[in-house]
Amino acid sequence: MRKNIFRLIFVGLSMACVSAQATVDSSKQIDTGVRKAAQKEISEIAQHQGFGKYALQLDVVIPPEAASLAPCPKTPAVAPGANSKRTLYRLRYEVTCPGVQDWKLNVAVKTAITLPVITAVNALERGRVIDAQDVVLRPQDIAPLNGQFFTAPQEVIGQIVKRRVSESQIITGSLLEQPVMVERGQSVLMVASHQGIEASTTGEAMKQGRKGEVIRVRNISSQRTVDAIVVAPGEVRILTPTR
């Protein structure tokens, strides 16, 4: 009788240990696979957007139901979550164990990506033209910014503050605007290029324009109106060659 009791206790303890080990193993598989996928995805984004050197922190949020999953005999497949909006600060992945176990789990990853970005030295009022003394590079978490940041002073110098910027605030594209480089009715230099040949003439701007904006410009000689992009103060480049 006593031997049977000991045998039952031993079997019960063994099953509990196996269950605990399965939970640890499946959770570890999920965590490892998702971390690798997130690191690879962020590395590719960083390379594409030119982040330079950055520090990465990942918080893998494994759902409670993972505790009931048996370990996957093979390395689980990890893919971006179906129909999930990809934001840099919160990535979602679908983890799948094919074959005998055949389970699937959706896992979220919270990220913190720190790199030096342009911030304001002091408060900047609306309408101020930014100069080199106004900005500095400081390490910041850029994951929540969705790419709306700058990594070099020359990217913001000469731009105009559109909304008040607080001291030490990260300067994003939504806070700035390009200065007006062409006024309506202004005489401008029209530049056109075709098959490696470049020509220029004088035109009249039909509307105000900032750098990078497309405006209508009338050729003074031919009186033809064309679309042109503002490239510098008083200068535009014709988008399609005139004939």
Q: What is the C-alpha to C-alpha distance for residues 56 and 114, in angstroms, rounded to an integer?
A: 7
Residue in the structure block whose two tokens are 């900005």: 135
Total domains present in the chain? 3
Residue 60's DSSP bridge partners are 109
Judgement on whether residues 81 and 27 belong to the same structural domain of the protein: yes
Judgement on whether residues 26 and 70 belong to the same structural domain of the protein: yes
Exposed/middle/buried for residue 67 (C-beta within 10 Å: 0-12, 13-18, 19+) = middle
Provide DSSP, 89-136: TEEEEEEEE-SSS-EEEEEEEEEEEEEEEEEESS-B-TTPBP-GGGEE
Domain termination residue (choose one: 88, 113, 138):
113
- Would residue 185 count as lying in a domain? yes
Tell if the pTM clears 0.85, that is, is over it: no
Give the tokens for residue 62.
């494994």
Judgement on whether residues 56 and 72 belong to the same structural domain of the protein: yes
User: If you average pLDDT over every residue of the chain, what do you get?
Assistant: 87
- Would residue 23 count as lying in a domain? yes
Domain termination residue (choose one: 113, 134, 159):
113
Judgement on whether residues 49 and 99 belong to the same structural domain of the protein: yes
Judgement on whether residues 95 and 196 belong to the same structural domain of the protein: no
The parts of the chain modelled with pLDDT lower than 50 are 2-24, 242
Residue 157 lies in domain:
114-177
Contact 105, 63 (CB under 8 A): yes
Position 6 scores a pLDDT of: 41
Judgement on whether residues 212 and 165 belong to the same structural domain of the protein: no
